[in-house]
Amino acid sequence: MTGYTPPLADIRMALRLHGRMPRLAEVGAFPGAAPDRVDSLLEEAAGLAAQVLAPLTRTGDLDGARLENGRVRTTPGWSEAWSMLVEGGWNGVSAPAAYGGMGLPQVLNLAVQEMWHSANMAFALCPMLTLGAANAIEAYGSPDQKARFLPRLTSGEWTGTMNLTEPAAGSDLAAVATRAVPDGDGYRIRGAEDIHHLWRP
């Protein structure tokens, strides 16, 4: 079993001094970010990190995901851990309430994500990439895209992923040649496979 003890005292200090958490609640920017709620949320996130995610780190190393009869099988315990995150609403810490989120400051979500990555980075990549997809859609998506994707990403029904690899690049993202070039009201995707189709947002 892999042990992990979240440094809650340090996290609280960083949120207070650098994240200005108390001030965010005081000025009304995030009314739900009252100190007692923030503290409770951090305690719960720390418990998940230490008691659920950290023990799965070694399990994931020894018994990774695999493809069996056309179905992906995850590491034992990972599906249950994901269900716990979904049921607790953890995908929506910083998501807008309009899409089912808690509407709390991003800096608080970063503190939660930090604990989870420290406990089990392989597992924590799923909620992190889901948050990245949701943030991109919230910032640049059409109203229809937001209505379709954001509630499902926030609830954990769907997850986000990152697909930035090419035959000559592998995991070296700096070597990726694909580019989206503006072309009228859309973008022309050009890259390793010299894709010519036009994508419109």
Domain ranges in the chain with CATH number 1.10.540: 8-120
Task: Confirm if 59 and 95 have CB atoms less than 8 A apart.
Answer: no
- Copy the structure tokens of residue 137: 């859609």
Which architecture, in CATH terms, is 8-120? Orthogonal Bundle (1.10)
Task: Provide the H-helix boundaries in 34-97.
Answer: 35-48, 54-62, 78-87
- Copy the structure tokens of residue 145: 């895209």
pLDDT band at 172 (very low <50, low <70, confident <90, very high): confident
pTM, full prediction: 0.80
Q: What is the pLDDT of residues 7-38, one digit of tens each?
A: 999 999 999 888 888 888 888 888 888 889 99
